[in-house]
Amino acid sequence: MLLSLYNVMSSSPSYHTTILCKYRVIIGVAVIFFLLVFFNQTYINSQSFDSNIFTIKNQDPKEAATNLSHLMFVLVGGSRTWKDRSIYVESWWRPNVTRGNIFFDVEPSEEFQPWSRNFPPLKVNEDLKKLKIYPKLVNRVHTRIYRSILENYRLKQDENVRWYVTGDDDSVFFVDNMVNVLSKYDHTEKHYIGMFSETVKSNFYFSFDMAFGGGGYALSYPLVKALVEVLDECIERYHYIWGVDHLQSLCLADLGVDLILDKGFHQLDLRGDLSGFLSSHPTAPLLSFHHFGSLEPIFPGMDRPSSVRHIMKAANVDQSRMVQQSICHLRTTNWTFSVSWGYSVHVYETIFPRSHLKCPIETFHPWLGGRPPLYMFNTRRVSRNPCEAPHWFFFDSIEQENGGVVTSYTRKFPRNMTSCSFSGNFSADPLASIRVFSPKTPKQGRKVECCDVEYEGANVANVRLRDCRRNEIIA
């Protein structure tokens, strides 16, 4: 019986084949299972690694969202400049709301005593002569400015502070936008956020890898804690560096922290008429202005203090849309409207796409002269061609009505040109003012809004901002 069974098994190749196939299936299933587990774990680990690369924060549901009380402003000024520059700080500072201090070289003159509650609390910097490196310092004024971060930290006023924001006494900040931008980053990590200069030469002479402090920059609190421990060592190591912002970037690089760029910070290393720049602002929340005292007033017919107060009328209602550009077309007349919310409206007597209008008109010139390249962005030259030159309207007033916001823009000077014959000779000269209707809800992030324009031959045109429709081409 056993012999016959053996003969059957040995004579039947299908038996061995069947057994071998079963083992192959079992082994195959095991290998596939192992690979799935291995690669799934690898993917999870890689996702965890990637999440550490990016600075955008995943909000802990138990943690309060970043608000203005989490920001500490460290401002620097001087007793000799305060009379002319105090208006800039006062325009954005919110007494009993914003936190921070302004550091002077010496006590201010008697005309500013007692110190106004509308200004940040005043502190006087420590005497630099106590530093061993003092005789070798190339720029003692900038060293005094730099040590303000350390001196502010030593005041022990930092309960619940998540960010230090630096600025000068001629810097203007848009604090609501600052909160919204910084809230997207993980404040428990070491971050250095700011922007380089608008001009090539300023960056070339100092560094393309540093934030310019007049435009302001933000340091997360863990980075501040690490910085203050070595700040005086950095001053000794880089005592030959002239610019404080350059020194800061070198010190932070030694700590392993590089600059994160954000286009909302503006050093404004520009001179002359800034209107062309502000009318085509980058698609980024406006965070700061600097060098107001070196530029022409940003509104025609106003001085610098009045111009700052005027633009803050719009900012105090809706900072999320400040100088954000929206483009719309009136096909019946072949006109293009470019709205820079809270600042200006341009009307062109021909159809232009957004790709053209996002380039600022070069009404300004660089901080330092010389041969091109001049700017860190593209520009359009001022044109006398009636098909290329816009009609200019500037922000006049703002009011809230029917659950929305209405900003009005008026013509401050005539264009003094013929109409554009290429587009049918539909002159926009009769237009005297433009009203822009926007939602009361803030604009979210860096998205571009679309708009519709209504004009029936009167001297007023109405523009309505709205969310872009799905798959709508933003021309």
Cis peptide before 114 (omega within 30 of 0): yes
Gap between the Cα atoms of 54 and 218, Å rounded: 17
pLDDT of residue 151 exceeding 60, the answer is yes
The stretch 24-31 carries a mean pLDDT of 45
Q: Do 243 and 326 fall into the same domain?
A: no
pLDDT tens-place string over residues 364-373: 999 998 899 9
Between helix 304-315 and helix 82-92 the angle, nearest 10°, is 10
β-pairing, 99-104 with 71-76? Answer: parallel
Here the tokens at position 307 are 């111009």
Q: What is the pLDDT of residue 15?
A: 39
In a domain, 28, yes or no: no
Q: Do 377 and 458 fall into the same domain?
A: yes
Tell me the DSSP string of 61-89. TTSPPP-GGGEEEEEE--TTTHHHHHHHH
Last residue of a domain, one of 220, 236, 261: 261
Higher pLDDT, 474 or 196: 196
pLDDT tens-place string over residues 64-111: 999 999 999 999 999 999 999 999 999 999 999 999 999 999 999 889
In a domain, 274, yes or no: no
Cis peptide before 222 (omega within 30 of 0): no
pLDDT tens-place string over residues 402-447: 889 999 999 999 999 999 988 777 999 999 999 999 999 999 888 8
Higher pLDDT, 58 or 461: 461
In a domain, 243, yes or no: yes
Last residue of a domain, one of 230, 261, 292: 261
In a domain, 42, yes or no: no
Q: What percent of the chain has pLDDT over 70?
A: 86
Q: What is the pLDDT of residue 59?
A: 52
Q: How would you label 32-57 residue by residue, b for 16+ Cβ within 10 Å and e otherwise?
A: eeeeeeeeeeeeeeeeeeeeeeeeeb
Domain tally, the chain: 2
In a domain, 277, yes or no: no
Name 193's bridge partners: 218, 260
In a domain, 475, yes or no: no
Q: Do 74 and 214 fall into the same domain?
A: yes
- Report which of 142, 149, 97 is spatially closest to residue 123, judged by C-alpha positions: 149
Q: Do 330 and 257 fall into the same domain?
A: no
- Dihedral (CA of 68, 447, 323, 373) sign: positive
Q: What is the pLDDT of residue 51?
A: 34
Task: Assign residue 136 the CATH number of its domain.
Answer: 3.90.550.50
pLDDT of residue 48 exceeding 50, the answer is no
Q: What is the pLDDT of residue 253?
A: 98
Give the structural domain span for 365.
319-466
3-class DSSP state of 40: helix
Count CB-CB contacts under 10 A for residue 441: 11
Q: What is the pLDDT of residue 474?
A: 52
Provide the H-helix boundaries in 212-346: 221-237, 244-254, 275-278, 304-315
Q: What is the mean pLDDT of the chain?
A: 88
Q: What is the pLDDT of residue 21?
A: 41
Q: Do 364 and 454 fall into the same domain?
A: yes
Eight-class DSSP state of 284: S
Count CB-CB contacts under 10 A for residue 189: 13
Q: Do 102 and 224 fall into the same domain?
A: yes
Q: What percent of the chain has pLDDT over 90?
A: 79
Q: Do 244 and 389 fall into the same domain?
A: no
pLDDT band of 56, cuts 50, 70, 90: low
Q: What is the pLDDT of residue 297?
A: 96
In a domain, 15, yes or no: no
Q: Do 439 and 331 fall into the same domain?
A: yes
In a domain, 333, yes or no: yes
Between helix 221-237 and helix 244-254 the angle, nearest 10°, is 110
Last residue of a domain, one of 261, 295, 328: 261
pLDDT tens-place string over residues 243-276: 999 999 999 999 999 999 999 999 999 999 999 9
Q: Do 431 and 337 fall into the same domain?
A: yes
Residues in the chain: 475
Q: What is the pLDDT of residue 458?
A: 83
Gap between the Cα atoms of 282 and 304, Å rounded: 23
Q: Do 241 and 357 fall into the same domain?
A: no
Here the tokens at position 17 are 């084949």
Amino acid at 143: T
Count CB-CB contacts under 10 A for residue 222: 16
pLDDT tens-place string over residues 311-356: 999 999 999 999 999 999 999 999 999 999 999 999 999 999 999 9
Q: Do 120 and 256 fall into the same domain?
A: yes
Q: Do 221 and 327 fall into the same domain?
A: no
Burial of 4 (0-12, 13-18, 19+ CB in 10 A): exposed
β-pairing, 364-366 with 192-194? Answer: unpaired
